[in-house]
Amino acid sequence: MIKKIFIMTFVFFIFGCSGFEFVYEKSLILKELESNSVLSVGGDDIPIIKSYFRQKIGYSNDGGYLIKITSTKEETLQVIDIDATASKIDINHNIEYILISNTNDCQIVSKSFSTTSTYDSKSAGFNFGSDISKNDISKQNIEKNIQKFLNLISTKDGLRCVGEN
């Protein structure tokens, strides 16, 4: 009897999981942009932006879409210690995105996102670890900003030009 229950349970799991599907799947719009987009990046932190876009949607040298990206990075000193060193810094990235259809020669999306992260310096002098963590925080800030843009694109009804119904 126990053997039958074990075999039935085993067969149930084998056939029950045959339609296994991942919950997270790229939207149809991101699939359409994938490896069909030309990137034009200007401003601050260009290598980080290109690398993250390559990871998320890829890009080509000749595609149906052009993504123009302009990045501005601002660092604001929040806490200045007695010895005139900054121990708390806000890093703000303002990135403007313009998505253009090359085939229809029109603009699809124009949006700007601003993301801010705070960096706490824990060193009393020059410290490589402190610089690396500052760069990591800046990279995470950029990735969060790009993800906001990709989420906006993913929720669109289609890649139609501005003013087109």
Q: Which two tokens stand for residue 95?
A: 């990135």
Q: Is 73 helix (H, G, I), strand (E, B) or coil?
A: strand
The pLDDT assigned to 148 comes to: 93
CA distance 62 to 117: 35
Enumerate domains of the chain plus CATH numbers.
25-154 (3.30.160.150)
DSSP conformation class of 161: P
Q: Which residues contact 160 (CB under 8 A, 6 or more apart)?
A: 108
- Per-residue pLDDT at 93: 92
- pLDDT for the residue 25: 64
SS3 128: helix
Four-residue CA torsion sign, 137, 53, 28, 107: positive
Model pLDDT, residue 24 = 57
CA gap 114, 71 in Å, rounded: 10
Q: Look at residue 104 in the predicted model and tell me its pLDDT.
A: 83
Each residue's pLDDT, cut to its tens digit, for the chain (165 residues) gives: 788 887 877 777 766 665 555 555 667 788 888 878 888 999 988 999 999 988 888 877 787 888 999 999 998 876 665 655 556 788 899 999 999 988 888 898 899 999 998 877 665 555 555 667 778 888 999 999 999 999 998 888 777 887 665
DSSP-derived secondary structure letter, 58: -
